[in-house]
Amino acid sequence: MRTVECKEVVELIPAYVKGELTRNQMNEVSEHLQNCNSCYEEAEKWEELFAELRSLVSYTHKPEKKVAQLTRGKTSSLTPWIVGGVGLGVGVLLAAGGALLWRKK
Q: Tens digits of per-residue pLDDT, 59-99?
A: 555 555 555 555 555 545 545 555 566 666 666 666 666 65
**Predicted structure pTM score:** 0.52
Instruction: Provide the pLDDT for residue 51.
Output: 87
Give me the numbers of helices (H) and strands (E) for the chain, helices first please: 4, 0
Sign of the CA dihedral running 65, 69, 73, 75: negative
- Taking only the tens place, the pLDDT of each residue in 6-33 is 999 999 999 999 999 999 999 999 999 9
Compute CA distances 83 → 1, 48, 77, 80, 87, whole Å.
55, 33, 11, 5, 6
Q: How many CB atoms lie within 10 A of CB 29?
A: 22
